[in-house]
Structure 1
């Protein structure tokens, strides 16, 4: 009887040991964690111009497509700025045209002064020849010299006036600096007017909406969020002892707590470069005499290969999940 009890005890111990060994092998080959959460891109919606909210076209948790109107800002002042910028642009064009007209007039004066100098120089040359022959008096020579010098001075003044007019006029047409500056102001005013209509940058769900008509908003001030309905992934925190077998592209089974019985497929995308404690706001201080070693956890990003077939099973950012990685490929030499 004692031998029989001993045999039963040995069998029981062997069964427990075998079960523990099989469990350890399974856990080693299929590391898992329930410290994992569903993630997606969450965009912050903020207006690029300030003003009073005219209309709000969406509601909390509403699904919107990319380009759908989210809200509209009152545009009275923005439209006035466009009109003012348009007037400034028209004035700059007119001033540029007037400067070009003035430039033409001054250029004509230069041509006239140059012609007068040519005539005075010819008269001076003729008088000089006659003076050498003794056919004209010194007074005639002095008069020709004075006339030529006055013509030279008049041409110099006309050329200086032309240079000043050219500097004031600048480049002609749309290349004029003043016209380009006015055009830039007009373009910016039109952009700000268009920004009064805030549309969805991507498709997704509106979240944290607390916006009403009549509210005053400031430029770039966050108003609510938009959960993008596009790329979804899992951020899973594995124990550091599990990382030795984790590799990118390994298959993953994903269970979402809010949908019991639903299992999705995924792949290991990347392994974190540091533990969660390293990037926390208050990292642990271990410089104490009663320090206890704690197994650290490292974030592992897992991509989803598909979505639930049932449209009622909407993916929700932040949902708790459990993930199991199949690392058997390492033992198969893959």
Structure 2
């Protein structure tokens, strides 16, 4: 009985030993295959998991101060270029616009009045010009009359009274002629004055038109629209809230500018990288899906140099640390294929080594 039990135990031990050996061999083979593949991959590709999906996230800023009248978007809503996002109460700005338009109309009406005055004064100048001709003719006649009486008086054929009366008429004729000339010159001066006023008023009209244009812009700024196709971020404002000019109202993700990956490679990994090379990208959120991209640029400095407080190795003890160089990789694919990718998603990027 004991002999049979021992035989069964030995047989079980042999089976366990064989199974263990087979499992161990399988594990060793799998590890060897994995190790060989890893070595081959590392020999052919530069890889990093310090990478993120990125796209432009821009603020939506208020250009005028006022109370929020309407909010026409929700958080994380897809919007199209030109969609209305926020409406700010424009009552004050609309009133200022009406006042500016009325002032412009008044200035234009004054232009018409001055132009009419110029025409009227021009007609008056023609009348004074005719009066000058008449006064000149009268003056010539009186001068001739005076010359005749003077000769008669010299030969005692006319009295002193007659000569004085002709002299007085001559003086009146000269005065009338001078008055006509002065009136004509004055009318010309009024025309010149009116033309100067016209130029000044034309300049004022241009200023008024600029004010109207500016007020038009101000009124238009009370309606805030989406500058491009995108996706809205978090909503931080409420209706009837007072917002200031320059205040950020929301953030919008720019879908038109495309998406890219910023891969932070160690400085020892970039010596074979060039602009235009292809890259293989795996997104942590979608591990079973492969994306491709093209290297657009390599940063001109390490990431630490762009920080607010860049390190200074000349101070304190020095510990050498491999620095990271940001590499920008443009994702390939249509917007529909890339729609699931969001800024900030972690990625693994592999770039094939190019050897000279």
Which of 232, 250, 269 does residue 224 from structure 1 map onto? 250
Higher radius of gyration, 1 or 2: 2
CA pair 128-26 structure 1, distance change in 2 beyond 3 A:
farther
Which of 61, 71, 93 does residue 86 from structure 2 map onto? 71
Aligned positions, number: 308
Which of 240, 251, 254 does residue 267 from structure 2 map onto? 240
Q: Please tell me the root mean square deviation across aligned C-alpha atoms, in Å.
A: 2.7
CA pair 104-249 structure 1, distance change in 2 beyond 3 A:
same
Q: CA deviation at 1:229?
A: 1.5
CA pair 273-101 structure 1, distance change in 2 beyond 3 A:
same
2:314 paired with 1:287: yes
CA pair 264-201 structure 1, distance change in 2 beyond 3 A:
same
Which of 320, 332, 355 does residue 305 from structure 1 map onto? 332
Q: Distance in 2 between matches of 1:53 and 1:101?
A: 49
Residues 119-171 of structure 1: per-residue CA shift (max 9 Å, x gap): 22333344445656657855554443333222222222222222111211238
Q: Distance in 1 between matches of 2:352 and 2:295?
A: 10
- Stretches of structure 1 that go unaligned for 5 or more consecutive residues are 1-15
Which of 285, 308, 318 does residue 258 from structure 1 map onto? 285
Q: Secondary structure at the match of 1:202?
A: coil
Q: CA deviation at 1:249?
A: 0.8
> What residue is the counterpart of 1:169 in the other structure?
198
TM-score (norm 2): 0.77
Q: CA deviation at 1:207?
A: 0.7
Q: Distance in 1 between matches of 2:337 and 2:181?
A: 94
> What residue is the counterpart of 1:107 in the other structure?
122
TM-score (norm 1): 0.82
Q: CA deviation at 1:322?
A: 1.4
Q: CA deviation at 1:251?
A: 0.6
Q: Distance in 2 between matches of 1:194 and 1:288?
A: 55
2:223 paired with 1:187: no
| Deviates most, 104-113 or 228-237 | 104-113
| Deviates most, 162-171 or 249-258 | 162-171
Q: CA deviation at 1:226?
A: 0.2
2:303 paired with 1:276: yes
Which of 50, 73, 84 does residue 99 from structure 2 map onto? 84
2:56 paired with 1:27: no
Which of 60, 71, 74 does residue 75 from structure 2 map onto? 60
CA pair 204-22 structure 1, distance change in 2 beyond 3 A:
closer
Q: Secondary structure at the match of 1:208?
A: coil
Q: CA deviation at 1:290?
A: 1.8
CA contact (8 A) 1:37 1:321 kept: yes
Q: CA deviation at 1:98?
A: 1.6
Q: Secondary structure at the match of 1:299?
A: strand
CA pair 73-289 structure 1, distance change in 2 beyond 3 A:
closer
Q: Distance in 2 between matches of 1:310 and 1:179?
A: 55
- Stretches of structure 2 that go unaligned for 5 or more consecutive residues are 1-31, 152-162
Which of 43, 59, 62 does residue 44 from structure 1 map onto? 59
Give runs of aligned pairs for residues 133-212 of structure 1, distance below 5 A.
Answer: 138-170=167-199, 176-212=202-238
Q: Distance in 2 between matches of 1:240 and 1:124?
A: 107
Q: Distance in 1 between matches of 2:80 and 2:53?
A: 22
Q: Secondary structure at the match of 2:248?
A: coil
Q: Distance in 2 between matches of 1:310 and 1:100?
A: 67
Q: Secondary structure at the match of 2:275?
A: coil
